[in-house]
Structure 1
Amino acid sequence: MCSQRFSRSSHGRPPGPGSRRARSTSSAVGGGKSIASISALACSGLRLGSRCGPRRSRHRSAIVAGSAAPRSPWTSRRRPWAAAIPSRRRPARPSRRRSTTGRGMGIAAPGVRAVRWASMRTCSTSSSAESQPARDGGARRLRVAAVQMRFLPTIDGNLAAIERLLAAAARRRADAVLFPECATTGYGYDFARLRPAEVRAALEAVGRLAARHGTNVLVGSPVFGRGGLYNGLVVFDRRGRATHCYAKCHLTEMDRSHFTPGNAVSLFEIDGIAATSVICHERRYPELVRLAVMAGARILFHPNAGMDPLAVSRKKRCGKDGIVARAFENAIYYVFANSVGPQGQGRWSAGDSKIVGPDEKVLALADNHGEAVIAADLDMSQATGVYARRGMEGPRFLAARWKQMVRAVTKQAARSLRGFDLPEARG
């Protein structure tokens, strides 16, 4: 065997080319050839081990073995979903051993367990079955709550309602609590007279509540930014820090009179689980959800503020709002939090907040006339995102485009807090 021709150092690696033993071994074998060239001839390409090659080759070997993945240039350590997208930079000496599972997909194969993905505990990327265990090998559960609230005309009144309803959700030991669209102000607020200091103070209050109860809070709120006023969703972690801000992209006619459209797809983490969001009217644009699920999201948070004539609102109470279909077609969980009751100007919100599973089952449902806090335990091993992942494979002529778009989504996710006036914003 090749290993018998060379004496090894005390660390188990072959002597370097400049060492005394290397020179004597080289001359004994003949011709003064280097160890690398002799090993190539003697072993017919057999690798001596990952330590023999350069560091880049060793890193590639670790990827094939399933221990780590190359770090994308736009990704920080706190955003693990981007490890699902392979880096464009190729190693200098790739390993001869390659994994064929998942080839041609923009998501890491099941054997390629990325370090940052391991902390997410999302589902396997294998498309061989529709239900796969979580990436960390065990079932991960997350208790989520959706708050259905009645808007009040003042910010202080709405903050008092948020405090009361969040306390109720915390008593049910919710890991994440979703509030409706524009929960800090109410959707009928006179946004023309809203000032940045008012919004910042309201969001600081929500952050303190999140830290007090030790839970993740997702609250709909107007947010000031470089382009003006946005219709946003702000995510606070268990320590009360703002970790993500999504600005509504597709605006309604009422939105356009006050808000600036956003320019990103939502992608963030809740306790290490990748999630996404849309706001109100955006349920009609499935590509916002699909791209995020392709990038790894397994929960969709949807804050809403119903502003319909009473007759239209009554029709919506039947629950035929597309939510179940969106959960099923992406194989994800769907959390929907709506306002309820009269909204002013003859408009009404139907309530009907709900939590839906990947199998189309409604796990929790609020009524249509009062405030409520609904909760459900989510078994994340059931949220596979399988149909979105399969969608990346065909038609084949679109496969490269899907991967390109997913890379763009993850790149923007790393900058989700930039440009917004938020308290203690941290990325």
Structure 2
Amino acid sequence: MKLAAVQLRATDDRAETIERAGDLLDAAADQGAGIVLLPELFAVPFVQPDPDPEYFRLAESLDGPSNTMAAERSRRAGITVVSSIFEEGEVPGVYYNTACTYVRGELKSVYRKSHLPFSNGFPEKFYFRPGGTEPEVVDTGETGVGTIICYERHFPELSRIVALRGGSVLCVPVASASAPMREVFQLELRAHAVFNGMFVICSNRVGTEGVKEYFGLSAVYGPDGDVLAQAADDRDDIAVAEVDLDRVAATRRSRPFLRDRRPELYGRLTGMGPAAP
């Protein structure tokens, strides 16, 4: 099958941005992609370094215009689409950074970002309530797909959960513009692929938003950490890679990291083991 990362420049015109995103989804589907990932909060500009109460006006419900477009493209093309939105919760004043997975138009998963930064110009704790559940794995009919969101790529426990739950494809929608992070960006994503023996799709924004310059590098990675396809670094684009899903099982046999885990020794990681010295 084929996996695709959509790379997108967001503007203040939500409708126009959603339309361009839809065109990119169509292009990915036309190239045969069965799983397509959109960037983090793809339809609206991302947060700036200084908290701004006016930003909340950009929030939308789960059935708002961003997900409506994603669901329609998923249904029409018979594909899986992972859409990331600034979600307005049902409780007044509660907002989430949310990823929704649609399989042939049907909403299969709602994952809310659980690890939120307040550093390096990303004051996300000001805007979002953290989610309280671990990543799910969605059965697409061909494979299992799990999603973590941007900052969460710095926490290897989350992608390992996706692997342990049977996921073969990890989706990582991001909004990454930090110059220091660019130096380790692909290193981290390749590491997730290698440690878990899975495919990784990462979709980033591109272009200038306020004081931030999003650097793209949207790509698809193989279980050996190889870059299978990468978008252009200066414009809207898609990265589409044909993959052999049997590589996941083969890789996990040749590098049996999941088999050789010793969870009984890891209690310290969750605070449930011996006190740290």
Mapped to 1, the partners of 2:185 and 2:268 lie a distance apart of: 35
Please state if 1:207 is matched with 2:71.
yes
Deviations 1:279-325 (A, max 9, x none): 111110000011221121111100011233xxx17x72686441111
Please state if 1:181 is matched with 2:45.
no
Mapped to 2, the partners of 1:143 and 1:231 lie a distance apart of: 27
Deviations 1:331-362 (A, max 9, x none): 11111111111121x11111011111111211
Runs of 5+ unmatched residues, structure 1:
1-141, 403-427
How far the C-alpha of 1:244 sits from its partner, in A, is: 0.7
Amino acid in the other structure paired with 2:159: V
- Equivalent residue for 1:271, pick from 113, 138, 141: 141
For the structure 1 residues 181 and 195, does the alpha-carbon distance in structure 2 shift closer, same or farther, using more than 3 Å as the test? closer
CA contact under 8 A between 2:47 and 2:124: conserved in structure 1?
no
Aligned to 1:160: 19
Q: Secondary structure at the match of 2:258?
A: helix
Amino acid in the other structure paired with 1:230: Y
Please state if 1:191 is matched with 2:55.
yes
Aligned to 1:122: none
Q: Which has the higher strand share?
A: 2
For the structure 1 residues 400 and 323, does the alpha-carbon distance in structure 2 shift closer, same or farther, using more than 3 Å as the test? closer
- Equivalent residue for 2:130, pick from 258, 261, 282: 261
Aligned to 2:108: 243
Deviations 1:177-227 (A, max 9, x none): 111000122324953223545962332232122222222111111223356
For the structure 1 residues 251 and 356, does the alpha-carbon distance in structure 2 shift closer, same or farther, using more than 3 Å as the test? same
Aligned to 1:112: none
Amino acid in the other structure paired with 1:371: D
Mapped to 1, the partners of 2:35 and 2:87 lie a distance apart of: 21
Amino acid in the other structure paired with 1:201: P
CA contact under 8 A between 1:251 and 1:261: conserved in structure 2?
yes
- Equivalent residue for 2:117, pick from 208, 232, 252: 252
Q: Secondary structure at the match of 1:389?
A: coil
Aligned to 1:339: 205
For the structure 1 residues 151 and 317, does the alpha-carbon distance in structure 2 shift closer, same or farther, using more than 3 Å as the test? farther
Percent identity over paired residues = 26
Please state if 1:328 is matched with 2:187.
no
Q: Secondary structure at the match of 1:222?
A: strand
Mapped to 2, the partners of 1:302 and 1:367 lie a distance apart of: 18
Mapped to 2, the partners of 1:206 and 1:304 lie a distance apart of: 17
Mapped to 1, the partners of 2:115 and 2:90 lie a distance apart of: 18
For the structure 1 residues 389 and 204, does the alpha-carbon distance in structure 2 shift closer, same or farther, using more than 3 Å as the test? same
For the structure 1 residues 341 and 400, does the alpha-carbon distance in structure 2 shift closer, same or farther, using more than 3 Å as the test? closer
For the structure 1 residues 241 and 343, does the alpha-carbon distance in structure 2 shift closer, same or farther, using more than 3 Å as the test? same
TM-score, structure 1 as length reference: 0.55
Runs of 5+ unmatched residues, structure 2:
49-53, 270-277
Tell which structure's C-alpha radius of gyration is larger: 1
- Equivalent residue for 1:300, pick from 162, 170, 173: 170
CA contact under 8 A between 1:293 and 1:330: conserved in structure 2?
yes
Q: Secondary structure at the match of 2:201?
A: strand
- Equivalent residue for 1:286, pick from 145, 156, 159: 156
Mapped to 1, the partners of 2:11 and 2:175 lie a distance apart of: 13
Aligned to 1:44: none
Figure out how many residues of one structure are paired with residues of the other and give that number.
253
- Equivalent residue for 1:359, pick from 212, 215, 224: 224
For the structure 1 residues 321 and 201, does the alpha-carbon distance in structure 2 shift closer, same or farther, using more than 3 Å as the test? same
**CA RMSD across the alignment:** 2.6
Mapped to 1, the partners of 2:176 and 2:196 lie a distance apart of: 24
Mapped to 1, the partners of 2:268 and 2:248 lie a distance apart of: 24
Aligned to 2:28: 169
- Looking at both structures, which has the greater relative contact order when contacts are Cα pairs under 8 Å and sequence separation is at least 6? 2
TM-score, structure 2 as length reference: 0.83
Mapped to 2, the partners of 1:325 and 1:365 lie a distance apart of: 17
